[in-house]
Structure 1
Amino acid sequence: MEERPLVRKLGAFVALSEVEHRVLDRLHKRRRKFVAGRELVHQGQSYQAAYILMSGWACSYKLLPNGGRQIVDFQIPGDFLGLRSVMLHLSDHSIEPVTDIEVTEVHASDLLEAFSATPRLAMAVMWAVSRDEAMVVEHLVNIGRRDADERMAHFLIELGARLALVGLGSKAGFACPLSQYLLADALGLSAVHVNRVLRRLREAGMVTFRDGFVTFDNYKKLTEFAEFEPTYLDQIGPLLPEKISLRA
Structure 2
Amino acid sequence: MTTKCEDCPLRRLDVFKEFSKDELIFMDRFKTGELIAQPGTEVLAQDASSTQLYTALSGMGLRHKTLEDGSRQVVGFVLPGDFVGLQTGVMDVMRHSVEATTQMTLCVFNRSEIWSLFKNQPQRAFALTHLAAQEESLLGEALTAVGQLDGMGKVAWALHRFFTRLTALDLNSNGRVPMPYRQQDLADALGLSLVHTNKTLAKLRDKGIASWSDDDLVVHDEARLAQLAHVGSEEAKPRPLI
TM-score range, shorter chain: 0.7 to 0.9
**Which of the residues 3, 28, 33 maps onto 1:30?**
33
Gapped runs of 5+ residues in structure 2? 1-5
Partner of 1:150: 153
**Which of the residues 6, 9, 16 maps onto 1:4?**
9
- 2:152·2:228 contact (CA, 8 Å) conserved in 1? no
RMSD: 2.5
Partner of 2:191: 188
- 1:14·1:124 contact (CA, 8 Å) conserved in 2? no
CA drift at 1:84: 1.8
1:6-85 to 2 correspondence within 5 Å? 7=11, 12=15, 14-85=17-88
CA drift at 1:231: 7.1
Residues 81 and 123 (structure 1), Cα distance of their counterparts in 2 relative to 1, 3 Å cut: same
Is structure 2 residue 220 aligned with structure 1 residue 223? Answer: no
- 2:49·2:93 contact (CA, 8 Å) conserved in 1? yes
Task: Find the aligned partners of 2:125 and 2:132 in 1 and give their Cα distance.
Answer: 11
Instruction: Name the TM-score, length of structure 1 as normaliser.
Output: 0.84
Task: Find the aligned partners of 2:193 and 2:82 in 1 and give their Cα distance.
Answer: 27
**Which of the residues 140, 143, 166 maps onto 2:143?**
140
* Identical amino acids, percent of aligned pairs: 28
Residues 178 and 146 (structure 1), Cα distance of their counterparts in 2 relative to 1, 3 Å cut: same
CA drift at 1:232: 11
Residues 165 and 29 (structure 1), Cα distance of their counterparts in 2 relative to 1, 3 Å cut: farther
Instruction: Name the TM-score, length of structure 2 as normaliser.
Output: 0.86
Gapped runs of 5+ residues in structure 1? 235-242
**Which of the residues 122, 132, 149 maps onto 1:129?**
132
Q: Partner letter of residue 34 of structure 1? A: A
Is structure 2 residue 150 aligned with structure 1 residue 164? Answer: no
How many pairs are equivalent? 234
Question: Which deviates more, 169-178 or 137-146?
Answer: 169-178
Is structure 2 residue 201 aligned with structure 1 residue 198? Answer: yes
